[in-house]
Amino acid sequence: MGAQNPFFGGVPSGQVTPGVLRLSVKEAVQRGLKYNLGLLLSEDQAQAARGARWKTLSDLLPNLVLGVRGSAQQINLLAFGIAPTAGSPAVVGPFGVFDARAFLTQPVLDIHALQRARQESQNVQAATWNYRSAREVVVLVVGGSYLQALAGAARRDAVQVQFQTAQALYQQAVDLKKAGVVAGIDVLRAQVEMQAQQQRLLATSNDYEKQKLSLARVIGLPVAQQFELGDKVPFEAAPEITLEPALEVAYRNRADYQAAMSLARAAEAGKKAAQGEALPSLQLTGDYGTLGPRPTDSHGTFSATAALRVPIFQGGKVRGDVLQADALLKQRQSELDDLRGRIEFEVRAALLDLRATGEQVQVAKSTMKLAQEQLKQAQDRFAAGVANNLDVVQAQESLATAEENYISSLNLFNFAKLSLARAMGSAEEAVRTFAGGSQ
C-alpha cells in the first residue's frame, strides 16, 4: 500500500465541542495553514535547511574554546632519552601542572568552505520557497475539498427535493387510481421511481458525510466534530485573462519555480565548492593562557600559528566530487526547465478548463430550467388524465440528470478558477473570493 500524500492528512488539534460547528471557507483555509500535515513537514524541512547552513558557516567563523586543566605528574626521564647526571634522580616529581587557556581557530582563505556556505544559503532559500509553495498546495487542497463538500451538499439537497416530488406523485397516482382515472401500472411506476429516489438520497447523504470527513482530515479538525458548511459558492463569471500575462504572473509568483531556481544556484555553488577542494587554504590558530604548577604561581603563555595547506594528490577525490556536483547541477537545470514547461502546461490547461466549464454551467443551467418546465407540463397532463405517468417519470429523470450536470459543472468551474490561481501562484488571495453569497 502506497504512502498517503501528506497534503491530504492533518494533525488533529483542539477538543470536540458540543453542538454543530459552522465552518466557512476562510476558517477552513486558516485551519489548513496551521494543521495540514504537508505544510508542517515543509516547515520542518525549512528548519533543517537552516540548521545545515549554520553547520557550514561554522567552517568560516572563528572557533573559540576555553579550557582549564590541572594535573599531578611524575616523569621518568630515561623514558624520554634523558640520562640523569651524577647525583640527579632519574624520576622527577610528583609535581603539579595548572593550565587555563583559550584556543582560537580562524580560517583566512578556504574557497571550498566559502562555496559550501553559499550552497547552503541557496538551499535555505529553496526551502523557504518550498514552504510558500506548500501553502499554495494546502489552499488548493482545502479549497477543493470544501468545494467538493459543497457539491455533495447540493446533490443531497437536490435529491431530497426529487424524493419529495416522487412521494407526492406516488400519492397522486394512488388517489387517481382510487378514482378510477389511471391504471395500477401508473401506481407501480410511481412507487418504483419514489424508491429509486430514496436510494439516491441515502447514497448522496452518505457521500456528503464522507466528503466532510475528508475536509476535516486536511484541516486538522477532530473527525468526531460535527460541523456544517457555512458558505455557498455562487457562479461568478471569471475575469477575462489571456495566456501571456498569465504566464508572466506565474513565472514571477510561483514559489516552486523560485525554489527550483534556488536549487540550481545551490548546485552551481556546490560544483565550485568541489573545485575548491583542490585549491590552497590558509588557517590561523592560536592560544593564550596561564601555565604553572599552581593557579597562584602561573604565568601567561601563548602561541600563534599560520598554516597553509596545499593539496597535491588526493587520490581522485576532487575529480569524483566535481563529477558528482556537475551531474547534480545538470539535474537541477533540467528540473528547472521541465518545471517552466509544466507551469505553461498548467496555465494553459486551467484556462481551457475555465472557459469550457463556464460554458457548461450556462448550458446546464438552461437545461435545468427546461427540465423543470418539462416536469411541470408532464404533471399537469397526468393530473388531467390525458396521459399516463410514464412521461412524468421520464421528466423526473431528466430533471435529476440536469441538476446533477449543473452541480458538477458548477463545481468544476469553481475548481478551475482555483486551479488557475494555483497555476499563477496566487491561490491564497483567490480563495477569499469564494466566501459568501448564495447560488
Peptide bond into 239 cis (omega under 30): no
Residue 418 carries which side chain, given as an amino acid letter? L
**What per-residue confidence (pLDDT) applies to 433?**
59
Report all structural domains of the chain as residue ranges with CATH numbers, in order of start. Answer: 24-62+110-280+323-434 (1.20.1600.10)
Q: What is the mean pLDDT of the chain?
A: 90
Q: Global pTM?
A: 0.83
Whole-angstrom CA distances from 345 to 281, 321, 363, 420 are 48, 36, 27, 11
Each residue's pLDDT tens digit, 304-328: 999 999 998 888 999 999 999 999 9
Distance CA 256, CA 358 (A): 28
**What per-residue confidence (pLDDT) applies to 435?**
44
**What per-residue confidence (pLDDT) applies to 434?**
52
What does the buried/exposed string (b/e) look like for 346-366 if buried means 16 or more CB atoms within 10 Å of the residue's CB?
A: bbeebbebbeebbebbeebee
Each residue's pLDDT tens digit, 101-158: 999 999 999 999 999 999 999 999 999 999 999 999 999 999 999 999 999 999 999 9
Which cell goes with 280? 590552497
Q: Which of 81, 34, 398 is nearest to 218 (CA)?
A: 34
Each residue's pLDDT tens digit, 385-414: 777 788 888 998 999 999 999 999 999 999
Q: Which residue has the higher pLDDT, 357 or 388?
A: 357
Which cell goes with 336? 528547472
The answer to whether 46 and 131 have CB atoms below 8 angstroms apart is yes
**What per-residue confidence (pLDDT) applies to 255?**
95
Using left for φ > 0, alpha for ψ between -120 and 50, and beta otherwise, residue 87 falls in: left
